[in-house]
């Protein structure tokens, strides 16, 4: 069975720097989506080897208060499996943020060289740094000198559809002290308009000795198994599918079988968790972002998505969910990719 084979492949220990993870299926970092409430929901099911935080500004971290920050926020219980992702362009600033992350007990720190959003790249953060390999490597080296916890680097193919710069960047990051690489094989300007080139993951994997985590368009067990088999990557990070199915880690890793009411219960549980962790408007904003991907599981998902999008309060969102699951909750065999933009 595919599920049995996948479970065996995922449940193998993996050394990352001076630490170890027991499951090779990870939650990819996602802004607004990978928040503390959503991570708590995922952790409740189990089966996830590592959780990655939302993208955090390295410059802001020294001034953040974990009790009211929108992004630099966590539960103490999740720290042994939580990696904090940081973004910025100054080696000293990135190193200073990494020190604070280590002092707070995180499993590791992740440097974002993958975000291609215009607001990030216009500041020469994220994927923009792939254009300046020396500076990117200098940031990795500065963070390496600052901390002893595992250091991850997430990056894309680059700014042209050619794997050679990505391979050279991977070598630079390894030489600079990275303990693991998360590679998303899309060019930076491509916001998912074309499928990722998984063969580029193989090229990166062959170029370095440290673990390589594959990322991009893993939407089923078959996808996950294919990525592991064909690319040789050491682990898989999933993002959008995890939002649509927060129990997916437990299903693939632990062979958990969800009950028929799982979608409704997950939506209501997340609503409660967001209400607990965030002020009302922050919670509403995050649930609306979640609702887009979550709606992909249903034949009439557009009805659910629009109802959530138009709701003005957490109470109205709850009413939309309850009404939808009383009437229109016919599931689809595969997620509706129109929601996964």
Catalytic residues: 115
What Cα–Cα distance (Å) separates residue 254 from each residue in 39, 51, 80, 201, 250?
Answer: 18, 17, 20, 26, 5
What Cα–Cα distance (Å) separates residue 69 from each residue in 62, 106, 243?
Answer: 12, 17, 22
Give all strands (DSSP E) within 202-311, no chain letters: 212-215, 235-238
Query: Can you tell me the distance from the alpha carbon of 63 to that of 66, in angstroms, rounded to the nearest whole number?
Result: 10
What single string gives the DSSP state of each residue in 56-73? EETTTGGG--TTT-SSS-
Burial class of 124 by CB neighbour count within 10 A (0 to 12, 13 to 18, 19+): middle
Q: Would the CA dihedral through 182, 118, 189, 27 be positive or negative?
A: positive
């Amino acid at each position: 069975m595919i599920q049995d084979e996948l479970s065996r492949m995922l449940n193998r220990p993996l050394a990352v720097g001076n630490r170890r993870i027991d499951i090779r299926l990870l939650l990819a970092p996602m802004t607004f989506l990978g928040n503390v409430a959503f991570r708590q929901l995922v952790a409740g099911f189990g089966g996830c080897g590592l959780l990655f935080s939302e993208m955090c500004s390295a410059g802001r971290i020294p001034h953040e208060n974990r009790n009211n920050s929108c992004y630099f926020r966590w539960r103490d219980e999740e720290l042994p499996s939580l990696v904090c992702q940081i973004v910025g362009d100054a080696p000293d600033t990135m190193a200073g943020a990494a020190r604070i992350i280590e002092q707070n007990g995180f499993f590791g720190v992740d440097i974002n060289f993958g975000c291609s959003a215009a607001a990030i790249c216009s500041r020469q953060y994220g994927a923009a740094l792939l254009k300046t390999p020396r500076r990117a490597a200098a940031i990795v080296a500065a963070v390496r000198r600052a901390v002893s916890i595992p250091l991850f680097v997430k990056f894309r193919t680059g700014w042209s559809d050619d794997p050679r710069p990505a391979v050279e960047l991977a070598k630079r990051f390894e030489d600079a002290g990275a303990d693991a690489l998360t590679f998303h094989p899309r060019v930076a300007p491509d916001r998912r308009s074309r499928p990722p080139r998984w063969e580029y993951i193989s090229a990166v994997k062959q170029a370095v000795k440290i673990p390589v985590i594959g990322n991009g368009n893993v939407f089923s067990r078959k996808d996950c198994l294919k990525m592991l088999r064909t690319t040789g990557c050491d682990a898989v990070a999933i993002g959008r599918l995890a939002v649509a199915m927060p129990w997916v880690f437990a299903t693939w890793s632990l062979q958990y079988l969800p009950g028929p009411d799982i979608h409704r219960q997950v939506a209501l549980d997340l609503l409660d968790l967001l209400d607990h962790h965030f002020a009302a408007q922050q919670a509403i904003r995050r649930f609306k972002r979640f609702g887009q991907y979550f709606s992909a599981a249903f034949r009439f998902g557009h009805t659910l998505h629009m109802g959530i999008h138009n709701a003005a309060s957490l109470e109205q969102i709850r009413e939309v969910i309850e009404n939808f699951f009383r009437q229109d909750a016919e599931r689809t065999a595969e997620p509706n990719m129109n929601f996964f933009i």
